[in-house]
Amino acid sequence: MQKPQKLSKLEEVFRKKKEHNHKYKDKINEATLAYQNFATEVKNQIASHDENYSKLTTQLSKHREVNQRESTGARRSSGYLKMTLAC
């Protein structure tokens, strides 16, 4: 093979490898973008769950307080505490 032919073949191989690398670079960029979008969505969902959990625990605490007050009030009105204290 003559030098110009070798050089031409080498240039062709180099060009093909370069195209191949660009294709994979684009695919990697797409995958990276998809991963970043997914990660952002997961973070948003976690924040939402944290907020909802906080609201739920606040509501449960309020409900527990109301139940305790109602329970204490019912015992007082039924004379439970009076009978207990008299013994």
First to last CA, the chain: 117
Return the structure tokens found at 21: 């690398």
The one-letter amino acid code at 36 reads: Q
Q: Quickly tell me which residue has 């007050």 as its tokens.
A: 69
pLDDT digits (tens, 9 = 90+) for 20-49: 999 999 999 999 999 999 999 999 999 999
pLDDT, tens digit (0-9, with 9 covering 90-100), for 10-27: 999 999 999 999 999 999
- So where are the chain's domains? 3-86
Q: Give percent of the chain above pLDDT 90.
A: 66
Instruction: Give Cβ neighbours of residue 75 (< 8 Å, ≥ 6 apart).
Output: 81
pTM of the full structure: 0.54
